[in-house]
Structure 1
Amino acid sequence: MALANELSRSNTSRRWFGLCVLMLPVLLVTVDNTVLGFALPKIAEALRPTAGQQLWMIDAYSLVLAGLLVSMGSLGDRVGHRKLLLIGSLGFVLVSVLTAYSETSMQLIVGRACMGIFGAMLMPSTLALIRSVFEDREERRVAVAIWATTLTVGSALGPLVGGVLLQFFDWGAIFLLAVPVLIPLLVLGPLLLPESERDGSGPLDPISILQSMVALGCIVYSIKHGASERIDGVVFGTFLAGALAGWIFVRRQLRLPVPLMDMTLFSNGTFSGSVLINLMSLAFLVGFVFFTTQFLQIVLQMAPLSASLALVPGQIMAIMVGMAVVPVAQRMSVHVLIPILVAFTGAAFLLVASMGSSLAVLIVAFALLNIGVGAIATVSNDVILSAAPPAKAGAASAISETAYEVGVVLGTTLLGGLVTAHYRAELQLPAFLSDVQSMLASETLAGAHYVATELAGDQAQQLMQRAGSAFEGGIALASWFAFGLALIAILIAWRTLRLPKIQPAECH
């Protein structure tokens, strides 16, 4: 009996140590989504990229990552998620080191794209391996809560990590961060993580892989181009191409005996609703971080490190609530719990829209937002993982991660695009600016700040007051829009998550 108890405790410790190792790539990939923005000024000074190259430095990673997530999730189902995780980690480390020492803008862009390839191997594998490590339903709830909390906190930590690293090191440090984070995974992963159950039903379909990449890549690019440039033929052309590729992809999956993505998963209303709510909640979080970090640094003139520290209370709330919601989720129906959580995100944007963008308001609003998003990530990902059979855990995980990446893109493009559009429309430029200065100042808030550094004190103050006012008006507009989306999300959750109460994964 004593020996059995000792073995049980040993296995329990092994599972939770394994979970700690699994959280390392989750934290790294999510931080990487938001950390680069802080490094762009130093990168621009060192590599002298064009405006288009700066855009691709950010976009290359998310475009490739979003386009490959579904394919990599299904590949992991076939070859084993532990194997794919270790290959992805090794590749991510090597490419990150090479990217850190880029000598040209094109090298950096190519490096970011390659990081997206290996990043797509990491994220679905982490969630799928949780299914393999934790067979007990209640233990798995806690493990998914930790995974989801790490996901949320990682996105919010990007600005803090960037502020700290750039305070003391050069821009390459943000890429070298991958080395100390992933090396422990490469060493301990084979020892602590079991291989996942494999789906030996057939090889991957290369046509489906290409279709999914074209669909996601084109749609994501069209949204980004429309927000950062203008609504033109490129936007409509790429969006239509992506939509057509997506329609062909879905039809092909329904016909294939062994599809790349099991479309029958979406017949479960709880699964579909959870994926959509997960996407929207991440869009709320990333959009808020996008415009808040600019406002704190440029309008309120806070240093990067100080601005990132202002977001720490919200990050603490995400950690606390992400874990505290586990016992609540065991006692409350999902269709009741998630609308309540979405209401917290709506309250955050309502506060900013009605009370303005002062430092105190933004701190409180970010805390409210993280209460909602942190708990939603825990509950929705638990539902998504539970709805899929074990052999399709990777595919379900990939769908969840694809929703995450699309949510990241939508947050920056929709909410950030609204702020930028309002700024450009409402900014009243002083008459003393030259034509070149007016063009730079009217493009972005950062452009106005750059022009202000060349002006005398009174003129610089006048320009920044007008720019700050226009940008703050854009924040209010985006916040009202997000509040309306939150109301819609509440209705979606109430209707879709009511349907099935029985989750297939309850039976092991």
Structure 2
Amino acid sequence: MATPLLDTGSTPTSLRVGTRGWVALAVLMLPVLLVSVDNTVLNFALPAISEALTPSGTALLWMIDIYPLVLAGLLVAMGSLGDRVGRKKLLLIGSAGFGVVSILAAFAPSIEMLIAARAALGFFGAMLMPSTLSLIRSIFRDREQRRLAIAVWASGFAAGSALGPVIGGILLESLWWGSVFLIAVPVLLPLFILAPVLVPESRDPAPGKLDIASIVLSLVTMLPIVYGIKHMATEGLDLLGVVAIVTGLTAGTLFVRRQNRLETPMLDMALFRIPAFSGAILINLLSVIALVGGLFFVSQHLQLVLGLSPLTAGLVLVPGLVVMILSGLLVVPIAARVRPSVVVPIALTISAVGYAAIAVTGGAVDAIGIAICFLLLGLGIGAAETVSNELVLANAPVNKAGAASAVSETAYELGAVLGTAILGTILTASYRNSVVLPDGLDAAQQNAAGETLGGAVHVAGELPAGAAEQLLNSARHAFDSGVGLAAWLGVGLMIAAAILALTSLRRVR
């Protein structure tokens, strides 16, 4: 991996950073690790949350989705704000708020309070991720160094995801579900100590004034669209869902028109006319939908169907997550020599094979099979996202790094929302339609067992042995039938992303 750091002679030596720059990168990895650990830990805490707070299936999905939903709605605004007030300053403010709200989330007494805390985490989380990626863009001006730095950044997500199941499993073995939110505290403390010293401040030298109307329009674009998708996936095509999506699309149109008129827009729409930029954004979106949707059902299958403990279930996924890290790093020297239109489609096809292996079994996969399938999924996505993220920043001017980074992050977070909303809702709907409840359940037990697999496991603990076994067998079969359907959708998403890479990146050297 030393090759990308060598001066090839094609880039002025003055653009290359030394040890201080790489140490600053290590500090910037702390919030990246935090966000990715938080996402993975929560997936493995779903069964415990379902049993402790007994949410409805819809409330459980909202608890997961509200964080990336708020995050996605605010990322562009926060990226633009960081360009204006200073990216390091915004990073530190967001980290402080994220830490405080994480403590509140850990002790939430109800699902409603937990949803509210997750929304607040999304608000402060929106300050973190564009700041880290845009600071990397301003620190690493040499493209070879920047490509490696972005590979480390992207691998930080995978590293956090790899640590999340293990750390979360250890916590959930002996502590309550809220302990998974407290991980933020020890991660953020070193950031507050080291970032002011090691990370240089950067901002747009001519930012213009902050446009409140653009911020409002970006929010009114994201929130209704995602809500409409979630609503129609659960309730079917109806007037409320259509109105929500039309409202979001209308606001999005007004947002684009306003950006094209402003002298200093919040988001430079000319970036989207660059095929490599817009193609890389869409590739990230489709990849994350598939990845997050897969984690949603795989984590529950391992624990609630196969009966593994949270720690053991986490360890099953670690090989795939480690491979995701390695593929993101090892693709760096390959990407310097092979066109993205070749590297990215091959990587995404490998991921499609991993999903297909789950789909053809109809969801009835043992732990070893899950580990192998997730390894293939991680191998492809790790390599593809490193290349696509580098293309996003390479095609954006350095003074607009915050806004460009925010667009990339919006694709990630919107993908997280849609991954859970689409694949998760398919899974929930299939479960509701297929589960057969035994006689003798009261209204509360029927509601809990009929909504989610976690609820069925909780209710089974209150029943006689025969009725409990009948309920669990039906619930697990109903759950896995939905896994098969969701996995086929994942295959389609990976193939669509590969075709998009072939077409949009074909002229990129």
TM-score (structure 2 length as normaliser): 0.90
Q: Is the counterpart of residue 296 in structure 1 residue 302 in structure 2?
A: yes
Please, which of 181, 206, 212 is the counterpart of residue 175 of structure 1? 181
- Greater Cα shift, 26-35 or 304-313: 26-35
Q: Which runs of 5+ in 1 are unaligned?
A: 1-7, 502-508
Cα 1:196–1:277 change in 2 (3 A) is: same
Q: 1:50 to 1:436 in 2, by over 3 A?
A: closer
AA matched with 1:385: L
Q: Distance in 1 between matches of 2:304 and 2:50?
A: 18
Q: By how many angstroms is 1:129 displaced?
A: 0.7
- Residue 216 of structure 2: aligned partner: 210
The aligned counterpart of 1:370 is 378
Aligned to 2:149: 143
Distance of 2:59 and 2:464 partners within structure 1: 32
Verify: 1:68 aligned to 2:77, yes or no.
no
Matched, 1:449 2:472: no
Taking the TM superposition and a 5 Å limit, the aligned residue runs for 1:189-208 are 189-208=195-214
Q: Which moved more, 1:245-254 or 1:427-436?
A: 427-436
User: Alpha-carbon deviation of 1:279?
Assistant: 0.9
Counterpart amino acid of residue 264 in structure 1: A
- Please point out which of 376, 382, 388 is paired with 2:390: 382
Is 1:218–1:242's contact at 8 Å kept on the other side of the alignment?
yes
Q: Is the 8 A contact 1:284 1:345 kept in 2?
A: no
Determine the structure 1 residue equivalent to 2:506: 498
Report if aligned partners of 1:74, 1:394 keep a CA contact under 8 Å in 2. Answer: yes
Structure 1, 341-350 or 144-153: larger mean CA deviation: 144-153
Deviation at 1:14, TM superposition (A): 1.1
Contact 2:130 2:402 in 1 (8 A): yes
Q: How does 1:322-341 map to 2 (within 5 A)?
A: 322-341=328-347
User: 1: CA distance between counterparts of 2:235 and 2:87?
Assistant: 39
Per-residue deviation, 1:211: 0.5
CA offset digits 1:280-322 (Å, max 9, x no partner): 1111111111001111111111111111111111111111111
**206-215 or 353-362: bigger deviation:** 353-362
State the match for 1:184 in structure 2. Answer: 190
Which has the higher relative contact order, 1 or 2, with Cα contacts under 8 A spaced 6 or more apart?
Answer: 2
Partners of 1:434 and 1:426 lie apart in 2 by: 19
- How far off its partner does 1:455 sit? 2.7
Contact 1:156 1:289 in 2 (8 A): no
- Residue 3 of structure 1 is matched in structure 2 by none
Residue 246 of structure 2 is matched in structure 1 by 240
Q: Separation in 1 of the partners of 2:164 and 2:353?
A: 24
162-171 or 412-421: which moved more?
A: 162-171
TM-score by structure 1 length?
A: 0.90
Change (3 A) 1:357 1:173: same
The 3-state SS of whatever aligns with 1:301 is coil
Contact 2:57 2:451 (8 Å CA) reproduced: no
Kindly state the Cα deviation for residue 458 of structure 1 after the two structures are TM-superposed.
3.2
Name whichever of 60-69 and 233-242 sits farther off: 233-242
Aligned mate of 2:269, from 234, 239, 263: 263
- Quick one: structure 1 residues 151 and 204, their matched pair in 2 at CA, closer, same or farther if it must change by over 3 Å? same
CA distance 1:166–1:398, shift in 2 (3 Å):
same
- Report the AA paired with residue 489 of structure 1: A
Sort the Cα spacing of 1:439 and 1:312 in 2 relative to 1 into closer, same or farther, 3 A: same
C-alpha change, 1:378 and 1:203, in structure 2 (3 Å) is same
Structural RMSD (CA): 2.5
Q: Specify whether residues 326 and 163 from structure 1 end up closer, same or farther in structure 2 by C-alpha distance, changes over 3 A only.
A: same
CA contact (8 A) 1:335 1:498 kept: yes
Moved more, 176-185 or 139-148: 176-185
Task: State how far apart, in whole Å, the 2-side matches of 1:383 and 1:149 are.
Answer: 16
1:419 aligns with 2:427: yes
Contact kept? 1:130, 1:144, Cα under 8 Å: yes
Paired with 1:394 and 1:435, the residues of 2 have a C-alpha distance of: 51
AA aligned opposite 2:271: L
**Alpha-carbon distance in 1 for matches of 2:437, 2:198:** 60
Deviation at 1:56, TM superposition (A): 4.5
Which runs of 5 or more residues in structure 2 are unaligned? 1-13
| Counterparts in 2 of 1:242 and 1:172: CA distance versus 1, 3 Å | same
AA aligned to 2:416 is V
Tell me whether 168-177 or 362-371 shows the greater mean CA deviation.
Answer: 168-177
Contact 1:224 1:409 in 2 (8 A): no
Q: 2:24 aligns with which of 18, 37, 48?
A: 18
Aligned-partner SS, 1:311: helix
What is residue 4 of structure 1 aligned with on the other side?
none
- Indicate how the Cα distance of structure 1 residues 182 and 437 shifts in structure 2: closer, same or farther if over 3 A, else same: closer
Contact 1:145 1:322 (C-alpha < 8 Å) held by counterparts = yes
Contact 2:341 2:508 in 1 (8 A): no
Aligned to 1:463: 471
Is 1:489 aligned with 2:497? yes
In the alignment, the residues of structure 2 paired with residue 231 and residue 433 of structure 1 have an alpha-carbon distance, to the nearest angstrom, of 32
Q: Is the 8 A contact 1:343 1:490 kept in 2?
A: yes
**Alignment check: 8 A CA contact 2:46 2:300 kept:** no
1:250-293 deviation digits (Å, cap 9, x = unpaired): 11111111111111101010111110111111111111110011
Q: Distance in 2 between matches of 1:149 and 1:36?
A: 19
Displacement of 1:58 in angstroms is: 3.2
* Shift in Å, 1:176: 2.3
TM-aligned CA deviation for residue 89 of structure 1: 1.5
1:358 and 2:358 correspond: no
TM-superposition CA deviations, 1:73-106 (whole Å, max 9, x none)? 1111122211211221122223323443445655
